[in-house]
Amino acid sequence: MPPIDDSKLLEGLTNSQLEAVTHLDGPMLVVAGAGSGKTRVVTRRLAWLLRQGVWPEQILAMTFTNKAAREMRQRVQELSGKQPRNLGTFHGCCARFLRFDIEKADFGRSRDYSIYDDSEQLAVLKNCLKDLSLDNKSINPRELAQLISKSKNQLLDFAEMLEQQPYCPHPELLLRLYRNYENKMRQLNALDFDDLLYLVVKLLQNDPALLEMYRHRLQYLLVDEYQDTNHLQYKMVRLIGGQRANIHVTGDPDQSIYSWRGADYRNIMDFVRDYPQAKVVKLEQNYRSTQNILEVANSLISRNQVRIDKNLFTENEAGAPVECHQVADGQAEAQWVLNKARELQAQGQALRDIAVLYRTNNQAREIEEALIHANLPYQIMGGLRFYERKEIKDFIAFLRLKANPRDEMALKRVLTCLKTGIGPKTLQDLLNQADKENLDILGFLAERLPLLPCCAGKGKRAAQMREFSQWCQGLRELEDESLGTLCRAVFDLSGLHDAIEQQYDKIQAEERLQNLDSLLSRVQVFTQENPEGDLVDFLQDLSLVSDVDKHDPEANSIVLMTLHSSKGLEFPFIIIAGVEEGLLPHNNSIHDPAGFEEERRLFYVGITRAKKAVFLLYCRSRCIFGKWDNNRQPSQFLDELPNRKNCYKPAKQHNQENYHKYQPSWKMQNDESLQNQDMDELPTIIED
């Protein structure tokens, strides 16, 4: 598609959008309400800058999901015929910077480092505990991982961070474990997710010449979803922005819902304090939702004290009122969802148009069971992700060992897939020997293993070890002429195809092999989008996949996800389950003013995902942590919705006082839409 001219580039923009798009120099804050065309403004601004003569290399544009980055990249290309080279997620951009510059500092890593996910980080921490003869009961590795993450995100020395904890038993032991962990990660040539941001900020802080080079090269910064930035991201933007401060941030404090992972909405609230000369533009016209949905959302969020005042409006139709329904229990809730899906399907709506949102993952179980029993297709976000499947992680381990020959975690997984004769004790001895000889473990196994006493003799184990040594040499020698060819060669060398066929029955084997084929197809897509990308770049891309990235909008299936996962998505029909005290707002936040306001923002985010209709459900009885609570209360947030029938229909009062968990759920619920149906039309729900 040829680039459009400048008049088309600015065509159809409102005055506020036009002001945001055509701002050139100096700081700007765009307060973009839900569904207000933020992506349109961001992409047109990038295209406008490029058409003003700004070089693609001079722009740094960062967002939070690969999905959003891909959409931006594609739209900017269509609008300008060019692409900003540094456009991606925060973690993706930082990973790219570190590939070039990590060896300029004494971080103990080379550019072919691996990125460890949460499970791999925990495995390293458990090894550190084992090295000190400790178990998981002595020190919780998950809690230790959280402390490490907290110290890095706040740019604090770990010892200093421990001193700030209100109660911290064994601080000397925790500090020792932390140092062991960092040493181990250096030996593995690996980074955790927080390191990607942390080490970039440290690089820029400690190397004035490098910082000046970044400032000269990246003269225009654009940050999407600025309300979700943490202290590290805030610091990085401030450092690169420098005195020039050509910083354009977009976001919405009303959609700040990630404080639990370090996001600080004060970054957007204090933007004008940080940059007194900043221009502020508000985008308040909503293009997504009906008037009734917005009226309900505005009424809810107006109760928050800490926010930038705005009032969303729309020229869309009034639409159907937001409906609230009280049902008897979790099974009745699942039955209600099922019947509503069938009703909408009968009206000609696609199942992909329906999303069911909930506060906690365990709320999905009964809904999922009902959909399975009714044979209605669904996709669940936040469950077992594609890249967490065993066969996928196995193959990725082979690829990672090829890319990073020091990756001990990848090697351990490879050893579980091959018959090598190497057990845990032998492996540890080999790792120690490789470390003494200052060799990466893959090179050591390929070159030195056949010379060791354990490989001598004619026994089966020695023969397996010699054969494995030859395999390691074969992996090292694979040529990377093209990424697709290399990945296929690694797959062939891995022997995974035959192993899966031997280990599983025909149906399971076919499914797992299809998953591996999908991953190889993903290599081809990556190559098309990144012609210069190599294996390290591809593995980096896989490491940074998020929940939103795995949503398939083409699949005709109902979508189940948490409210947190729904941010950045939109659907014609939204069902929010479990709008109850203790769930929404969550018990953990009810007595914390800041946390309580965030729970309200979370509810607001869920409502504003909808285009056509919103349905709110709450139960009178629910099984929580294995115990029945027969006196569930509707969320106090429901009292904050406008009590006007034209835009909001509250639930009728429930007049049943006695509940029994084994009573059929279709008899217990109090919703008219189910009461009027013949019981034979209701499928049996799987009992606990």
d(CA 311, CA 388): 41
CB-based contact 598:388 (threshold 8 Å): no
609, 620, 622, 632: the active-site residue: 609
Residue 609 appears among annotated catalytic residues: yes
**Number of other CB atoms surrounding residue 52 within 10 Å:** 10
Q: Which of 112, 192, 195, 224 is flagged as catalytic?
A: 224
Identified catalytic residue from 38, 152, 512, 600: 38
Q: How many CA atoms lie within 13 A of 232 on its CB side?
A: 24
Q: Which residues contact 64 (CB under 8 A, 6 or more apart)?
A: 89, 90, 224, 225, 228, 546, 568
B/e letters for 395-417, b = 16+ CB within 10 Å, e = fewer, are bbbbbbbbbbbbbbbbbbbbbeb
Backbone angles phi, psi at 107, to 5 degrees: -95, -5
Q: How far apart are CA 65 and CA 541, in angstroms?
A: 11
Q: Which of 89, 227, 255, 420 is catalytic?
A: 255
Contact status, residue 482 vs residue 527, Cβ threshold 8 Å: yes
Alpha carbon of 586 to those of 131, 211, 608: distances in Å? Answer: 39, 43, 20
User: Is the sign of the CA dihedral 184, 187, 190, 194 positive or negative?
Assistant: positive
Give the DSSP letter of residue 661. T
DSSP secondary structure string for all residues of 408-432 = HHHHHHHHHHS--S--HHHHHHHHH
Half-sphere exposure for 185 (CA within 13 Å, toward CB): 24
Q: How large is the angle between the packed helices 141-153 and 171-187, nearest 10 degrees?
A: 80
Angle between the N-to-C axes of helices 483-494 and 496-503, in degrees from 0 to 180, rounded to the nearest 10: 40
Distance CA 632, CA 629 (A): 6
Integer Cα distance of 567 and 35 in angstroms: 11
Nearest Cα neighbor of 243 from 215, 209, 211, 280 is: 215
Could you tell me the two tokens for 662? 């084994």
How far is 370 from 335, CA to CA, in rounded Å?
Answer: 7
Of residues 14, 19, 22, 39, which has the active-site annotation?
A: 39
43 is an active site residue: no
Residue written as token pair 């066969």: 391
Q: Which residue reads 């055509």 in tokens?
A: 22
Of the candidates 112, 120, 225, 366, the residue annotated as catalytic is 225
Q: Which of 273, 230, 257 is nearest to 62 (CA)?
A: 230
Active site residue 111: no
- Within its chain, how far is the Cα of 593 from the centroid? 26
Distance between CA atoms of residues 301 and 257, nearest Å: 13
| Half-sphere exposure in the Cβ direction for 334 (13 Å, CA) | 26
The beta-strand segments (E) located in 372-442 are 378-380
Other CB atoms within 10 A of residue 172 CB: 9
CA 497 to CA 482: how far, in whole Å? 22
How far is the C-alpha of 658 from the C-alpha of 620, rounded, in Å?
A: 10
Give CA–CA dist 562/569, Å, rounded. Answer: 12
Q: Is 39 a catalytic residue?
A: yes
Placement of tokens 């009961």 in the chain = 137
Query: Quick one: CA dihedral 463, 466, 471, 472, positive or negative?
Result: positive
Distance, in Å, from the CA atom of 326 to the CA atom of 617, rounded to the nearest integer, reads 6
Sign of CA dihedral 427, 428, 430, 434: positive
- CA dihedral (195, 201, 202, 205) in degrees, to 10, reads 180
Evaluate whether 489 touches 478 at the Cβ level (below 8 Å). yes
Phi and psi torsions of 413, nearest 5°: -70, -40
Is 38 assigned a catalytic role?
Answer: yes
**Known catalytic residues?**
38-39, 224-225, 255, 609
